[in-house]
Structure 1
Amino acid sequence: MELKNAVAVVTGANRGLGRHLAVQLLERGAKVYAAARRPESVDVVGAIPLRLDVTDEESIRAAARLASDATLLVNNAGISTGTPLIASDLEAVRLEMETNYFGPLAVTRTFAPVIEGNGGGAVVNVLSVLSWWHPAVTGAYAAAKAAAWAQTNAVREELAPRGITVSALHVGYMDTDMAATIPADQKADPADVAAQVLYGIENGRPEILADEVTRNIKQSLSTTLNPA
């Protein structure tokens, strides 16, 4: 997909990876709707702030009406609450799934006909290495991202006949607010990750594996583990 003159909607564009994506898309000549629950928090010069809460379907529909020229959707908004699946409140688990699985699905369902009506384009889902690696301490997040990986693969097949490519970004820790407690040497530069995402969009990559940890974990899925 050509990014120059593309019209992008980036959710969670007020900080972190989303902000870097918005900035770099503008640098490539795209029009950018920088979506956030609080659009006043968007400070990307040249972007159009757009109110969008991925857990609120009316908010999503209103955003699609305003961004009716969209050709690219980046589902970046998400949360991580550090919630295990057993020793935690079930509502916290539901919140992770609502935000990280049902949220992107709802946004994609709403924007797919918009993108198709504008001649086709692309959807990118920001996932995680935890789509494949499931530590107990973040069980709710890992489960939601694993489900979102399955969602991405199914939606890719469903939207291909409509002229819409669907890509997944998988990455470990990035130097963003969400990973503030992680040592710096264990985190990827979100600007570099954003550049990899844009390269993947331009080249129609179904999966973008943004760091060495993620590439190693993905490769290990095809190996047979010896029983303990």
Structure 2
Amino acid sequence: MTDSLPAGRPADGGEPPGGLPPTGSAPDAPAPAVGRGGRRRDQAIALGWLVAIWVLLWGDLSWGNVLAGLVLGVAVLLFFPLPPVTFGGRLRPGALLVLAVTFAGELVTASLHVAAVAVRPGYRPRGAVIAVPLRVRTDLNLALTAEVISLVPGTLILEVDRDRGVLYVHVLDVRGPEDLTAGRERTLAVERRIVRAVGSPAEVRQLDFEPADRRDHP
């Protein structure tokens, strides 16, 4: 079972009619200049995320895994440089705690659900691919939201449309349209918690808007 692409998306991959971004998103605005100190800070943050992802993938917090993650992270940043992603947000300890606690709870509940599906005799779960347009279309928000979604059992990011700010999410055990709606709402809830934890005040205000694709094509 595969959910349809966002309404209004032409087959040739062009922009949907009337799909203007919400006020303040400015996805095509030029990135601000970043000094040497800013680049080093951004690289250090990226290296920290790469090490954390490496440890999470192995599921074992040890000095060996941390050291291997550091070596691989440095190699990735040196040999496969990505476009600079600047951090212009604000760290909010309370919202960060909510994000961490909620993420831990979702890991437990999703793991139990996937385990129950796996051991259920004769049951063949149906999957679906849903398109979720985000409200904050920065590279950092796309990356963080996609990573958190992929780490939760039962959901996986298949594709990221960077230009339109859309995540294509594969969800497990879909029984009806209500499960598709719930999958979209979970993804947007993850985005909301991430933006409230590390986003700028302007990005937090964008959470009050519906994604452009959903406003223009209800």
Same-fold call, TM cutoff 0.5: no
For CA contacts below 8 A with separation 6 or more, give which structure has more relative contact order.
Answer: 2
- Identify the structure with the greater strand proportion: 1
State the structure with more CA Rg. 2
Q: Which category describes the TM-score, using the shorter chain as reference length?
A: under 0.3
